[in-house]
Amino acid sequence: MNATVRRVGVVGGGQMGAGIAEVCARAGLDTIVCEADATAARAARDRVAASLDRAVQRGRLEPDAARDALAHLAFTGDLEDLADRQLVVEAVIENADAKTEVFTALDKIVEDPAAVLATNTSSFPVMRLGMATNRADRVVGLHFFNPVPVLPLVEIVTSLHTASETVAAVEGFATGSLGKTVIRSQDRAGFVVNALLVPYLLAAVRMAESGFATAADIDAGMELGCAHPMGPLKLADLIGLDTVASIAESLYDEFREPLYAPPPLLQRMVQAGLLGRKTGRGFHPYGQD
């Protein structure tokens, strides 16, 4: 990867992908978001535009800066449009097979052999994704946190094949271009943050499941008793209960410790489509913005 990244691709325009694209565009980078089709691409553009509008309304961004960010964004339903990218960040659904398929395709499409292919996975092995390509040394984990435009942290996750030059280049991009703070992790399920966070969230789910306390009281206890900005069940709703369950399954598959096992209530809520904020109902109800 060149010392200065100017052309970025993001695969996936959902909550995380849209946020990653937004911070790249706000940094003045030529950013292309690729979605499954043209309809999904338009929805991704609307998602980014709405986020920029909220930032302006809350005084976090000047109107001219919001317009400039949109001017740096393009949206497509064709992965081939990412051929000239210097860095591509995969941010599709938290499903190992889906992510592997994306990396296999990107390896054939992205023309520059020095380009970096990064994954925003919350839990899956970077090694598996790297081995789906012929450039495992250029594959790295670049894990952002939601909401991406607000939270300053990025985890950089290296596989056994990731080259030191790749790590240095991606860290320079995250800190220099995006202004993020970087922590590094080895390629273990959950990395640093989720390996610590998810057992806490699952403990809160088990507490609600057992009837020990209500969701409202569990969240109030941690917000008012421990000064957490958001209670664990509200946070799980924000992350998406399907994503929480997927991370838990990945952690349990790797470590086989009971604290990582997704509780039955969480699994049933995912099966019912009660995924949190993005569906309007999880452990708490949410009005549609």
Which are the catalytic amino acids?
A: 122, 143, 155, 194
Please say whether the beta carbons of 274 and 284 come within 8 A. Answer: no
CB atoms < 10 A from the CB of 50, how many? 12
CB atoms < 10 A from the CB of 212, how many? 10
| Residues 6 or more apart whose Cβ sits within 8 Å of residue 192 | 155, 183, 185
DSSP 273: T
The H-assigned helical ranges of 72-192 are 96-109, 126-130, 164-172
SS3 278: helix
Q: How far apart are CA 9 and CA 81, in angstroms?
A: 9
Q: How far apart are CA 3 and CA 25, in angstroms?
A: 18
What would the 3-class secondary structure string for 173-196 be? HHHHHCCCEEEEEECCCCCCHHHH
What b/e string do you get for 153-192 counting C-beta neighbours within 10 Å, with b at 16 or more?
Answer: ebbbbbbebbbeebbebbbebbeebbebebeebebebbbb
